[in-house]
């Protein structure tokens, strides 16, 4: 792995054993993108001059002869030679917006410096190139940071903008990365959805003009995901080239693709410029979130395995990040708000019988919260429901031999709360305009230090009082009525980013106080499922939809970027509360094994024989949990293409694997096609641990594994554990 600068070619080359990323300085001044893909030894001079449809001579390079508008760039800015939207857009004190960013210096660092105030990947073993560009007239300085690691085909990028002048500069757009592709026939894949339908996979051809995905909801959101992938024609799970982008950010973002007049495709990613600006005072620096650029020559499967390595090796950071996780039972779908201590203890005791490790008390334990219309902000125990408070409940649960977990929603405030009555200006609101509630609640203004300090105190007290082993940190609405009582007119458009910086500060301060606690993030289901929060919380609730078939789709889409170890997945009751669909327990369990495993149903209503079945399921989960969560992950059949879905995890040494297939509707007189597996050793023989049947790794991968008959009922599962002989 190395980063080099070739002075004669004016070329920077970042490369590890598998990928190269190359850019050069046109005329020694403007960084032009040259290449991103499989490792090349070098790019020769005559290939570099192909960069433009115009005649291009580097020695006599002139913006008049070859405008930046037709060149692939590393850091395009709007308003100069380039007439396309770029990475950076500023307004100078005189109201003009031109920038002429030219190369000033570079340095190569070992590792990677953390991003101030923002989560980012850890830089062990990495190298970083920092390229400095300067606008001579305004003295604005831009640093482009590029990090490469030896163990994955991912390059991290972010930008730092420093005002070296004497007047304030208004940043109207500061994105994290831009790549200009000279490639025909690309397709764009994004993840979009809704509440209970998160991260569905959509692919379409890139056409001239603008396309992409974005959100201005103040959260990475259920509707979209800070990710996009460009793929070459015919790319599937195993073959084809993918160029993917993911952002380490939890707020409003854009991921845009624009194809221009010469079929050059510009892909950019970063904070959404809509409803954003930043007043950059002299001497100060604005830092963008970190973006990850992932190259795969092994289709979408290869891309996901790179992202999964990123998450496991460089993003998740808790003591639980690489360990087995407790099997949990959450009371939400069992009781909703209608519980008291007696009911909770009955549920916990049944959970203990079912060999569950952790009992989680969800929403409704504080203030006077009997429904979702009150008490957020009043994080003191509701002694009507819990006479001895959290402390006593937790003690009783611990005495049963269970761990105890608690739900909180620290970013919110109910208008019906003591906190709101005391501090009506603590919520986000636009002056005297109506404060429009969602789920009967308002959003706390986390841009304010006083609000954050209070919340850190009151939430930490509750966690201490409850002596908790696990926390579910929820966030149940997006932001509207944008405005902060603390920001003046010139700074109101900073609120979205300041909120997210405030969230990272507040969450970080709480999480760091409880290093032994397992944290799971949640946002009305999977509404803030992003890499940034995973640096603090190693798992996230994937969706409020616990229906097994819907979960196949949601988890399949989510797995494009995220490994099973971060996806909260629970077995719930039938008929399912979201879809009213009934699926066999075996199928619900097999699907929940695609994530961090748990239950979310009233166990007291299940007959003993089902509790015994659950004990068996839990033993199975424990016996292969590391493989399920941290194994190398392969998607085998897409629920977006047909009537079934399949995936598998393989151990690093390829000696163990677990394969799961779910068939949706039964089809009479149908012969199931063999399921071709992946990632095994073709030279090894494997035994199906449950049936004792023996197969060759080659047979399983090239011919396929037989599936259970699929005409004997809906939603049948085949789950096979394979062990090398």
CB of 572 to ligand GLA, least distance (A): 11
- State which residue, 211 or 335, has the beta carbon closest to ligand GLA: 335
CB of 600 to ligand GLA, least distance (A): 8
CB of 336 to ligand GLA, least distance (A): 8
* 474 catalytic per annotation: yes
CB of 507 to ligand GLA, least distance (A): 17
By C-alpha distance, which of 274, 316, 379, 234 is closest to 562? 316
Give the C-alpha separation, 296 to 241, whole Å. Answer: 6
Give the C-alpha separation, 139 to 133, whole Å. Answer: 10
Span of 186-194, 521-529, 693-701, 710-718 interacting with ligand GLA by CB under 6 A = 521-529
- State which residue, 541 or 634, has the beta carbon closest to ligand GLA: 541
Binding mask 373-412 for ligand GLA (x = CB under 6 A): ----------------------------------x-----
- State which residue, 140 or 455, has the beta carbon closest to ligand GLA: 455
CB of 720 to ligand GLA, least distance (A): 31
Span of 223-231, 454-462, 520-528, 615-623 interacting with ligand GLA by CB under 6 A = 520-528
Whether 568 and 547 have beta carbons less than 8 Å apart is answered as no
Q: How many CB atoms lie within 10 A of CB 296?
A: 25
Residue 402, CB-side half-sphere exposure with 13 Å CA sphere: 31
Distances in whole angstroms, Cα of residue 678 to Cα of each of 181, 255, 312, 334, 542: 31, 31, 21, 38, 25
Give the C-alpha separation, 315 to 8, whole Å. Answer: 37
Give the C-alpha separation, 431 to 450, whole Å. Answer: 19
What residues are paired with 656 via a beta bridge?
723
CB of 542 to ligand GLA, least distance (A): 10
CB of 405 to ligand GLA, least distance (A): 12
- State which residue, 251 or 524, has the beta carbon closest to ligand GLA: 524
Closest residue to ligand GLA, judged by C-beta, is: 363
CB of 601 to ligand GLA, least distance (A): 13
- State which residue, 147 or 476, has the beta carbon closest to ligand GLA: 476
- State which residue, 541 or 597, has the beta carbon closest to ligand GLA: 541
Say what the alpha-carbon torsion angle 557, 561, 565, 569 is, to the nearest 10 degrees: -20
Phi, psi of 300 (to 5 degrees): -70, -30
Span of 344-352, 517-525, 632-640, 691-699 interacting with ligand GLA by CB under 6 A = 517-525
Give the C-alpha separation, 451 to 483, whole Å. Answer: 15
- State which residue, 292 or 407, has the beta carbon closest to ligand GLA: 407
- State which residue, 411 or 544, has the beta carbon closest to ligand GLA: 544
Instruction: Tell which one of 180, 237, 363, 445 touches ligand GLA (CB under 6 A).
Output: 363
By C-alpha distance, which of 664, 648, 658 is closest to 717? 664
Site membership for ligand GLA, residue 544 (CB under 6 A): yes
Instruction: Tell which one of 58, 362, 530, 656 touches ligand GLA (CB under 6 A).
Output: 362
Instruction: Tell which one of 148, 522, 617, 710 touches ligand GLA (CB under 6 A).
Output: 522
**Window 587-626: residues binding ligand GLA (CB under 6 A):** none
CB of 615 to ligand GLA, least distance (A): 25
Please work out the total of residues on this chain that contact ligand GLA, with binding judged by CB under 6 A.
12
- The per-residue DSSP string of 338-404 comes to ---HHHHHHHHHHHHHTT--EEEE-S-SBTT-SSTTS-TT--SB-TTT-TTHHHHHHHHHHHTT-EE
Whether 40 and 174 have beta carbons less than 8 Å apart is answered as no
Instruction: Tell which one of 524, 538, 563, 598 touches ligand GLA (CB under 6 A).
Output: 524
Cα 87-88-91 angle, rounded to 5 deg: 155
By C-alpha distance, which of 314, 305, 522 is closest to 410? 522
By C-alpha distance, which of 681, 723, 595, 645 is closest to 237? 645
**Window 317-336: residues binding ligand GLA (CB under 6 A):** 332
Distances in whole angstroms, Cα of residue 640 to Cα of each of 403, 526, 546, 643, 664: 38, 19, 18, 8, 12
Binding mask 495-514 for ligand GLA (x = CB under 6 A): --------------------
Q: Which of 544, 545, 547, 644 is catalytic?
A: 544
Q: Which of 153, 382, 474, 547 is catalytic?
A: 474
- State which residue, 147 or 223, has the beta carbon closest to ligand GLA: 223
CB of 525 to ligand GLA, least distance (A): 5
- Residues counted in the chain: 725
Give the C-alpha separation, 686 to 725, whole Å. Answer: 6
244-274 burial string, b = 16+ CB within 10 Å, else e?
Answer: bbbbbbbbbbbbbbbbeeeebbbbbbbbbbe
Site membership for ligand GLA, residue 525 (CB under 6 A): yes
**Window 548-567: residues binding ligand GLA (CB under 6 A):** none
At which residue do the structure tokens 């992950």 appear?
633
CB of 332 to ligand GLA, least distance (A): 5
Residue 547, CB-side half-sphere exposure with 13 Å CA sphere: 17
Site membership for ligand GLA, residue 74 (CB under 6 A): no
Span of 111-119, 271-279, 506-514, 518-526 interacting with ligand GLA by CB under 6 A = 518-526
- The H or E element that residue 694 is part of is strand 694-696
- State which residue, 409 or 656, has the beta carbon closest to ligand GLA: 409
**Window 467-486: residues binding ligand GLA (CB under 6 A):** 474, 476
Site membership for ligand GLA, residue 81 (CB under 6 A): no
Q: Which residues are catalytic?
A: 474, 544
Interface residues with ligand GLA (CB under 6 A) are 332, 362-363, 372, 407, 474, 476, 522, 524-525, 541, 544
């Amino acid at each position: 792995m190395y980063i080099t600068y070739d002075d004669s070619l004016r070329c920077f080359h970042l490369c590890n054993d598998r990928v190269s990323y190359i850019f050069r300085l046109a005329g020694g001044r403007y960084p032009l993108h040259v290449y991103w893909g499989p490792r090349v030894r070098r790019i020769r001079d005559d290939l570099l001059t192909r960069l433009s449809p115009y005649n291009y001579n580097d020695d006599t390079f002139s913006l008049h002869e070859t405008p930046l508008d037709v060149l692939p760039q590393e850091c395009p800015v709007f308003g100069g030679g380039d007439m396309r939207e770029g990475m950076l857009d500023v307004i100078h004190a005189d109201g003009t917006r031109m920038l002429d960013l030219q190369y000033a210096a570079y340095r190569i660092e070992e590792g990677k410096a953390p991003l101030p105030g923002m989560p980012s990947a850890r830089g062990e073993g990495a190298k970083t190139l920092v390229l400095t560009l300067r606008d001579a007239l305004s003295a604005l300085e831009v640093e482009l940071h590029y990090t490469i690691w030896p163990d994955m085909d991912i390059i991290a990028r972010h930008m730092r903008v420093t005002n070296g002048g004497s007047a304030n500069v208004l940043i109207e757009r500061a994105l994290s990365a831009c790549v200009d592709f000279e490639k025909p026939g690309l397709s764009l894949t994004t993840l979009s959805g809704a509440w209970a339908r998160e991260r569905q996979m959509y692919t379409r051809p890139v056409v001239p003009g603008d396309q992409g995905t974005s959100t201005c909801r103040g959260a990475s959101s259920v509707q979209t995901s800070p990710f996009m992938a460009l793929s070459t024609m015919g790319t599937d799970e195993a073959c084809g080239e993918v160029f993917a982008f993911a952002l380490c950010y939890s707020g409003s973002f854009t991921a845009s693709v624009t194809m221009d007049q010469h079929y050059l495709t510009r892909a950019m990613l970063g904070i959404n410029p809509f409803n954003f600006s930043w007043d950059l005072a002299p001497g100060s620096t604005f830092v963008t979130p970190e973006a990850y650029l992932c190259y795969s020559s092994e289709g979408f499967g290869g891309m996901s395995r790179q992202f999964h390595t990123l998450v496991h090796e460089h993003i998740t950071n808790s003591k639980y990040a690489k360990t087995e996780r407790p099997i949990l039972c959450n009371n939400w779908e069992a009781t909703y708000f209608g519980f008291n201590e007696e009911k909770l203890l009955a549920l916990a005791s049944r959970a203990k019988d079912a060999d569950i490790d952790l009992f989680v008390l969800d929403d409704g334990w504080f203030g006077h919260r009997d429904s979702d219309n009150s008490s957020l902000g009043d994080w003191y125990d509701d002694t009507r429901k819990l006479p001895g408070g959290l402390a006593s409940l937790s003690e009783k649960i611990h005495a049963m031999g269970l761990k105890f977990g608690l739900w909180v929603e620290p970013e919110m405030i109910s208008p019906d709360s003591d906190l709101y009555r005391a501090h009506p200006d603590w919520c986000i609101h636009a002056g005297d305009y109506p404060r429009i509630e969602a789920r009967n609640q308002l959003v706390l203004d986390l841009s304010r230090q006083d609000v954050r300090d209070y919340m850190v105190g009151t939430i930490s007290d509750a966690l201490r009082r409850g002596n908790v082993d696990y926390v579910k940190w929820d966030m149940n609405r997006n932001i509207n009525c944008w405005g902060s009582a603390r920001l003046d007119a010139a700074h109101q458009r900073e609120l979205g980013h300041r909120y997210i910086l405030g969230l990272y500060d507040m969450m970080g301060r709480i999480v760091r106080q409880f290093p032994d606690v397992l944290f799971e993030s949640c946002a009305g289901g999977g509404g803030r499922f992003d890499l940034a929060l995973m640096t603090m919380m190693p798992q996230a609730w994937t969706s409020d939809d616990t229906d097994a078939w819907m979960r196949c789709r949601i988890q399949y889409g989510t797995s494009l970027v995220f490994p099973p170890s971060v996806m909260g997945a629970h077995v719930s009751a039938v008929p399912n509360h979201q879809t009213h669909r009934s699926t066999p327990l075996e199928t619900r369990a097999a699907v929940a094994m695609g994530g961090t495993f748990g239950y979310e149903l009233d166990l007291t209503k299940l007959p003993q024989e089902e509790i015994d079945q659950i004990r068996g399921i839990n033993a199975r989960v424990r016996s292969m949990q590391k493989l399920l969560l941290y194994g190398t992950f392969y998607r085998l059949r897409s629920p977006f293409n047909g009537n079934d879905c399949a995936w598998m995890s393989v151990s690093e040494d390829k000696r163990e694997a677990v394969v799961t297939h779910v068939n949706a509707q039964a089809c009479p007189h149908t012969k199931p096609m063999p399921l071709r597996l992946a990632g095994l050793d073709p030279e090894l023989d494997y035994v199906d641990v449950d049936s004792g049947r023996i197969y060759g790794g080659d047979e399983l991968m090239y011919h396929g594994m037989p599936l259970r008959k699929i005409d004997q009922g809906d939603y049948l599962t085949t789950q096979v554990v394979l062990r090398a002989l």
